[in-house]
């Protein structure tokens, strides 16, 4: 795949779509969840830092780096809720996987589609540990770009097959239901958030507005449910009433990041939370009773993107769904970079 050191495999949006379709969406999500779980299980090997964020009035641009000592990965991602009004995506992303030994990149890929897939895969993976046993009904509040991925991931990984959809824009719910038609779901479009949560064992909130919001009020949440809080993912943006947090056992990816960006930014800095890696390795309990409210305060962490980059890299050889990108200068003599430029000018008949 990398016969020349200057050539880096590049997965475009078109190639990513072809890759997902060639593998199959459910299989892609299931296999990706396996990679994510593998990396959570070796959590202590990773360099970990909260994402580097540049906030503006319009949104945020972030870098999400991590390394396991052998590979290094990062993602560039933005979050601009206003973009939908201008016909643009709220979130776009690309990522790089590199060899720690040489520092050379091994993969450059789009990550707008891939981020939606890894977020959904992570949500469903966590629900495997935290959702009520045998859960089949999930509410999705906020039926934007992430909703179909969430639904399919939960079906593939946890067996969810009944969906209750609500969005302040009813056309978003209708679009989501249409996109999921024929995929094995029993779908109900609801007129309010209160109606949507009735009978649900899993509640997913995945709204886009960059503000403190109350998508779920305390009276909407009964005992025994699992809440998958995805939309509150930056400072000043939350979805749940604080009282829900006080009634829940809260599970997070990386506390120093989640306390800044997640639902728990509403709580005192020492409020107890459980890290996911501890649950997946058996160092901490997940769901312990039928009455327990479990809450995954999802903000997305760099190791999940790292897992996604690893997974995509491992699919390229068999599928060939990538382009060769001439990204790195590779002079015959490593110290003679200017000489490489001179030779190029002579070859082109140009005087440097």
Answer whether 0.85 is exceeded by the pTM.
Answer: yes
What mean pLDDT do residues 41-48 have? 98
CATH for 204 = 3.40.50.720
Considering only CA atoms, which of 309, 273, 5, 29 is closest in space to residue 152?
A: 29
Please, what's the largest Cα pairwise distance for the chain? 78
What's the number of domains the chain is made of?
2
Verify that 180 and 241 share a domain, yes or no.
yes
Average pLDDT rounded to a whole number, residues 264-271: 95
134 with 254, same domain?
Answer: yes
Task: Answer yes or no: 233 catalytic.
Answer: yes
Residue 332's pLDDT is 83
Domain identity same for 286 and 219: yes
Q: Band of the pLDDT at 350, cuts 50, 70, 90?
A: low
- Indicate if 20 and 162 belong to the same structural domain: no
Q: Are 235 and 146 found together in one domain?
A: yes
Q: Is residue 2 part of a domain?
A: no
Residue 150 lies in domain? 123-300
CA–CA dist 51, 67 (Å, integer): 13
CATH number of the domain enclosing 77: 3.30.1780.10
pLDDT at residue 164 tops 50? yes
Taking the CA atoms of 17, 22, 27 and 33 in sequence, report the sign of the dihedral they define. Answer: negative
pLDDT value, residue 2: 45
pLDDT recorded at residue 210? 62
Q: What is the pLDDT, as a whole number, of residue 348?
A: 78
From the candidates 167, 233, 297, 305, give the one annotated as an active-site residue: 233
- C-alpha–C-alpha distance, residues 30 and 24, integer Å: 10
183 pLDDT tier (thresholds 50, 70, 90) = very high
Q: Tell me the range of 28-37, 236-245, 323-332 where mean pLDDT is highest.
A: 28-37
User: DSSP code of 292?
Assistant: P
């Amino acid at each position: 795949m990398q016969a020349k050191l200057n050539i880096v495999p590049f997965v475009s949006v078109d190639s990513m779509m072809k890759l997902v379709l060639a593998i199959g969406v459910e299989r892609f999500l299931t296999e990706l969840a396996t990679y994510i779980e593998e990396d959570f299980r070796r959590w202590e090997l990773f360099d970990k830092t909260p994402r580097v964020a540049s906030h503006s009035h319009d949104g945020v641009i972030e870098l999400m780096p991590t390394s396991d000592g052998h590979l290094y990965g990062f993602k560039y991602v933005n979050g601009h809720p206003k973009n939908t009004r201008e016909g643009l995506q709220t979130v776009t992303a690309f990522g790089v996987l590199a060899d720690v030994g040489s520092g050379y990149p091994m993969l450059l890929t789009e990550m707008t589609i891939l981020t939606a897939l890894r977020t959904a895969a992570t949500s469903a993976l966590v629900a495997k540990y935290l959702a009520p046993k045998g859960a089949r009904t999930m509410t999705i509040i906020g039926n934007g770009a992430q909703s179909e991925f969430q639904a399919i991931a939960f079906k593939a990984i946890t067996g969810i097959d009944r969906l209750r959809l609500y969005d302040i824009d009813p056309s978003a719910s209708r679009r989501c239901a249409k996109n999921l038609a024929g995929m094995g779901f029993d779908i109900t479009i609801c007129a309010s958030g209160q109606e949507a949560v009735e009978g649900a064992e899993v509640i997913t909130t995945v709204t886009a507005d960059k503000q403190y919001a109350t998508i779920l009020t305390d009276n909407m949440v009964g005992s025994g449910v699992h809440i998958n809080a995805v939309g509150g993912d930056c400072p000043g943006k939350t979805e749940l009433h604080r009282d829900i947090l006080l009634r829940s056992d809260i599970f997070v990816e990386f506390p120093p990041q989640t306390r800044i960006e997640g639902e728990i930014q509403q709580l005192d800095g020492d409020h107890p939370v459980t890290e996911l890696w501890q649950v997946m390795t058996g160092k901490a309990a997940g769901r312990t009773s039928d009455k327990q409210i479990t809450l995954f305060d999802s903000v997305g962490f760099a190791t999940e993107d790292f897992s996604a980059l690893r997974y995509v890299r491992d699919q390229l050889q068999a599928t060939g769904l990538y382009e060769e990108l001439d990204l790195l200068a590779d002079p015959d003599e490593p110290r003679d970079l200017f000489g490489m430029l001179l030779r190029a000018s002579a070859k082109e008949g140009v005087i440097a």
